[in-house]
Amino acid sequence: MIDPKLLELLACPRCESRPPVELNGDLLVCTECQYAYRIEDGIPDMLPESAIPPDEWKREANSSHA
Amino acid sequence: MNHTTAGAAHNRPVERAEDTWGGAAEAYLKSSVHGDEAALSRIVDLLKPSGGAYLDVAAGAGHCSYAIAPFVDVVVACDSSPGMLRLIHREASNLGLHNLITTRGTADRIPFRSGAFDGVVCRTAAHHFTDVQRFLAEAFRVLKAGQKALVIDNVGNEDPDTDRRVHELETLRDPTHVRCHTAKEWKRLARRAGFWIDFEDVVSKPINAVEWLNRLNVEEPRRSEALFMIEDASGWFREHLRPHGSGDLLTFHLNELTLLLSKP
């Protein structure tokens, strides 16, 4: 799904401290602000405006597991 | 290419950039200017990539990434245009460059950790950036100490009227064009970001006017206006463009700055 070397380099563009992101299902989730980024065709979409708010992606994740 | 803009407050430039660049990806891949072997060899000679991780900011059709990949552990091509990134993904696979990976991101909020990279390159893209100072600060941040960033971009003219005319011509061709800073401005901004300047030069690049307009599929009346501006240039603006020939053979010149920067 995502190259492990890339995962080691990626950081959240919304947060000034550029904290790492973690793989959570199909999403990359910021370890600080908890906003999530999609991976489209193997390419992470790390535009700040593409970030999904935590309540939104967690709600979607919960409903898909229900 | 970059094609790169700021965050949520600058949504529209990213979308406008995708309109312009997503459709132009194949033309840029085949561009003789962007794919010029001598120019790409010079980039490798200046950066001297040797292992480690490299970042290509506003990678466009990926030419710098393809040139650097054979010498490094990993090169990341970062651009805001999904069309360009899909093309790089495909070309990297075709070329067997399995260490070339892609990420959608912007130059003023580079989505990578601080001190993550052994080298950064940004070629013929920064004139699309809304905030060059912020890009330079971000390039400085993602570099490891002691490592280098190579910036190559078209530059403006120190004469304000000529500079304005160059800007008008570039914008006629490309609505996503923001500004070609002068060499003097670039050096001031780079030093303010914390960089040392290791090397600089400005060369005059000959450009075929029709190919230049075709690459972005420029339509009338902007196409004719741009050609007229080149052919009819006068004074210092003519000195800057140095137009020659006519029709399909009309050529002119743009000045390109190469700036090799190091992070102390």
Q: What is the model's pLDDT at position B3?
A: 37
CB atoms within 10 A of CB B176: 22
**Domain total for chain B?**
1
Is B8 at the interface with chain A, CB within 8 A?
yes
CA dist B63 and B31 (Å) reads 10
Mean pLDDT of B153-174: 94
Confidence (pLDDT) at B95: 94
Which of A5, A41, A47 minimises the CB distance to B106? A47
Q: What is the mean pLDDT of residues A7-17?
A: 97
* Contact criterion met (CB < 8 Å) for A41 and B86: yes
Q: How many CA atoms lie within 13 A of B186 on its CB side?
A: 28
pLDDT at B1: 38
pLDDT at B158 over 50: yes
pLDDT of residue A35: 98
Q: Looking at the partner chain, which of B53, B82, B113 has a beta carbon nearest the beta carbon of A11?
A: B113
**Chain B contact for A28 (CB, 8 A cutoff):** no
Q: Do B76 and A12 touch (CB under 8 A)?
A: no
Contact A44 B103 (CB under 8 A): yes
Q: Is B124 contained in some domain? A: yes
How much is the mean pLDDT over chain A? 93
CATH class of A4-65: mainly beta
The answer to whether position B163 is within a domain reads no
The mean pLDDT value for A33-50 works out to 96
Q: For residue range B190-219, what is the model confidence (pLDDT) as tens digits?
A: 999 999 999 999 999 999 999 999 988 999
Q: Among residues 50-89 of chain B, which lie with CB inside 8 Å of chain A?
A: 53, 73-74, 76, 80, 82, 85-86, 89
Comparing CB atoms, the residue among A13, A14, A43 nearest residue B102 is A43
Judged on CB neighbours under 10 Å (0-12, 13-18, 19+), A55 is exposed
The arithmetic mean of pLDDT across residues B233-252, rounded, is 95
Phi, psi of B143 (to 5 degrees): -80, 150
Q: Is the ipTM of this complex over 0.85?
A: yes
CB–CB contact B109 A13 (8 Å): yes
Confidence (pLDDT) at B25:
65
**How far is residue A8 from each of residues A33, B76, B113, measured CA to CA in Å?**
18, 12, 8
Q: State whether residue A49 sits within 8 Å of chain B by CB.
A: yes
Within a 10 A sphere around the Cβ of B216, how many other Cβ atoms? 19
Asked if residues A36 and A48 have their Cβ atoms less than 8 Å apart, the reply is no
Probe site for chain B from A47, A50, A52 (most B CB atoms < 10 A): A47
| Average pLDDT value over all residues in chain B | 90
pLDDT at residue B21, rounded to an integer: 55
Q: Do B104 and A49 touch (CB under 8 A)?
A: no
The answer to whether residue A64 scores a pLDDT higher than 60 is yes
Please indicate, yes or no, if residue B98 is contained in any of the structural domains: yes
Q: Whole-model pTM? A: 0.89
Region B56-79: mean pLDDT is 97
pLDDT the model gives residue B234? 95
Tokens, residue B122: 């940004």
**DSSP characters for chain B?**
------SGGGHHHHHHHHHHHHTTHHHHHH-TTTT-HHHHHHHHHHH---SSEEEEET-TT-HHHHHHGGGSSEEEEEES-HHHHHHHHHHHHHTT-TTEEEEE-BTTB--B-TT-EEEEEEES-GGG-S-HHHHHHHHHHHEEEEEEEEEEEE---SSHHHHHHHHHHHHHH-TT------HHHHHHHHHHHT-EEEEEEEEEEEEEHHHHHHHTTPPTTHHHHHHHHHHT--HHHHHHH--BS-GGG-EEEEEEEEEEEE--
What pLDDT is attached to residue B175? 86
Residue A58 has pLDDT above 70, yes or no: yes
Interchain CB contact of A3 with B (< 8 Å): yes
Q: Which residues of B touch A3 (CB under 8 A)?
A: 101
A65 or B145: which carries more pLDDT confidence? B145
Nearest CA in chain A to B6: A48
- Do residues B31 and B19 lie in contact, with contact meaning Cβ atoms separated by under 8 Å? no
Verify whether the Cβ–Cβ distance A3 to B106 is below 8 Å: no
How far, CA to CA in Å, does B116 sit from each of A11, A55, B69? 10, 30, 17
Q: Mean of the pLDDT values across residues B159-175?
A: 94
Q: Does A16 touch chain B (CB under 8 A)?
A: no
What is the pLDDT, as a whole number, of residue B252?
97
What's the CATH number where B68 sits? 3.40.50.150
The string of pLDDT tens digits covering residues B108-144 is: 999 999 999 999 999 999 999 999 999 999 999 999 9
Residue B109 counted as domain residue: yes
Query: Domain limits at B196?
Result: 8-156+177-203+256-262
B11 has pLDDT over 80: no
Residues of A in contact with B106 (CB under 8 A): 13, 47-48
Shortest distance between the Cα of B245 and any Cα of chain A, in A, equals 43
